[in-house]
Structure 1
Amino acid sequence: MITRRALLVTAAASAVAAQTACVPNAGRGTQAASSSSSGISSTTTLGSAPKPTFVAPLVPQAPRTVLEGLDSPWQIAFLPRDDASGQRSALLTSRDTGVVFRVDVPNAQGGTAQKSEVARVPEVYHGGEGGLLGIALSPDYSESNQVYVYRTVSGGNQVISTRDFRRFETVIEGIPRSRIHNGGRMVFGPDGALYVGTGDAGRREVAQELEKLGGKILRHDPSSGKTTVYSLGHRNVQGLAFTSSGELWATELGPDKDDELQRIYQGGNYGWPLTTGYGTSEVSGGRSRPAHHVWESTADASPSGLAISGQTAYVAALRGQRLWVVSLPKGLSHDADTPIPAGPLPQLDPPEFKGSRLRDVAVTPDGKSLWILTDEGPASRLLVAALA
């Protein structure tokens, strides 16, 4: 018997093969509409050299709900695995309550997860999109117990660190806050640095002001304590993830169109508020960088969390109420001066993942499953889906 999942994978592989074989020399493509019947989008040209290649995306199996009753969960940070426990554990932040939870999910199929309150982070100011947002564990967490969290306070947004959730040290401050566009996603890179996505807090001009921390991706070096602007010209970065080869990718909310998935280069200017999507504009020092994948309608995406396994990106969609599965191009240059083709990437929207606002998605450290957070107020859930 051929399952629907097998058909999806076959369709993806066929579409990817077709794109890899036929990439005309043409100008910038435009986003094609997604086909709900096949679960895969049609595509247009990808632009000039270098010509990327694609592999069939790794499609997750149908998800199961392992925990209900989460209140406005925001980001997942996996704890080091304890093989003797027979479970996977993580810390979760709750935006509206300011609580950090620990969640334990049995590895056995059909097991029920358990949650426990770890701490209430002090001085969290909740309003609109602000509150207790990102969380990231130091690469040496097993020895240091160092945890970083992103919180909104009365005077702005900031990154703080703690070893015991009783004493906190301010790591980055001065990030603007508002009811909208507070950013908040954090991830450690392969270089041991902490990368932080910020929003423009509704003041679009700050995204182009290098001395301001809004509308940026920041890089914080824990060893030196130095924080620098890694990239600028962002509206509201909501997802950050690295590939195994060290490429940084980000998801970003568009205004009333042009939600974006983009490859991030150090020093890159991504154009906001002068341009969105595949467009470019003159900025200080040259031209801005186009996005690599654009959802023209925010009703299809409004992307939030981002996870990457191999060359497959998983994009949690809020307004789109689905999980997008996107095949990332292979062979992109690490040289920021090398032209990058902009255009639709092969994508799937498996029907099993539709129907809920999705806030975050994370690949387990062993690469065997996805954890997905829904954003449905006090009725939010944690879903788990196996990766074949």
Structure 2
Amino acid sequence: MNKLNFIDQETIKVINQKKIIQLLYRNKQMTKQDISKALKLSIPTVISNVKELIEQGFLDEAGVAESTGGRKPTIIRFIADSRYSFGVCIAKDKVRIILSNLNFDIIEERFFDLPSKLDNFKELILRIRKEVDYIISAHNITTQKILGIGFSLPGTVNEKKLLLENAPNLKVKNICFKEFQDDFEFPIFVENEANASAYAEAFINFNNIINSLVFISITEGIGTGIIIGDNLYKGYNKRAGEFGHMTILKDGDQCNCGKKGCWELYASQKSLVNKYKKAFGDDKNDLDYFLRLAEDNDKAKEILDEYLEYLAEGIKNIILMLDPRNIIIGGEISYYKTLIEKDLKSKVFEENNFYDEEECKISFSELQGNASILGATLLPMEKLFFFSEKVI
């Protein structure tokens, strides 16, 4: 009985400390009295837990607040640089690595080109390890302060097994990241890039949209992260959200997944750039260059309009299937919100009997091209530090 009571008390203490850290992450600094009121915890409970968190380096005392009478209350401050996390985003043509603190400030980032053919994934991991070691050395950070390294991956991911099951755009299958754990001195985490983006958008921005959210990640392909009732929905086989491979055009173009007419063949960033290249006989892979053409070139406008038709068609299907309150569009294309937002919404919400713009809000990611990789840095923080796992 005493042992059970001890375990319960320890669990309660851990929960209370996580609540305090979360609260101070949001508010940056507060008095103990304010913490007590916000979390409905007793002053002695707050004092004892804050003391431990100060000893662990997460918090410190930052002077005193004004008082209308009596002893001035001590201000408790959140220390963003008390811990760090690495994020790695593996895309079709490049790898990006960042070091983030607990405020999601990017302390350092490194890039390198991905080989056109991944014959040996271990070599890729060793190259990532080399860049990680460089960052650690450059910033003189001890590994004890690093919570872990999160990988944002394109394709089907089983985060429990640390397994990249299938990544058609990388042309790899069944890559087990458990085999690479010994290459790092801190834990490895993996997640699908769209799910990582949804995590980041919901947690980092904390904009009260997490109860019903679909994040559409538009890159070389299209992925979606689904949040329902504050939980990431992954499905029975952890394959939910592969809307990039829903058929949008019967007997359409051949997809590398084996099917024909997949949505991402017509609405991904890659498809848009390829259409421009073909139409203008230009080898540039520059989305910005082509989208700027669409501002005053009729042919470019036609290409963009057709692209938005396909993008809208997929979004309409998602709305009918999931009935989300919020849809967030991310990826590089989110930088061009002012150019495409009005026409896209017009195509999605054209007259129908099922939904309107008041019922489903479409917005563009405030994190833009950083959503996926910041989501990767969040993975070690989420599982080890911030809040309990919420996956259904």
Q: Above 0.5 in TM-score?
A: no
| TM-score computed with the length of structure 1 as normaliser | 0.30
| TM-score computed with the length of structure 2 as normaliser | 0.29
Of Structure 1 and Structure 2, which has the larger fraction of its residues in strand? 1
Of Structure 1 and Structure 2, which has the larger fraction of its residues in helix? 2
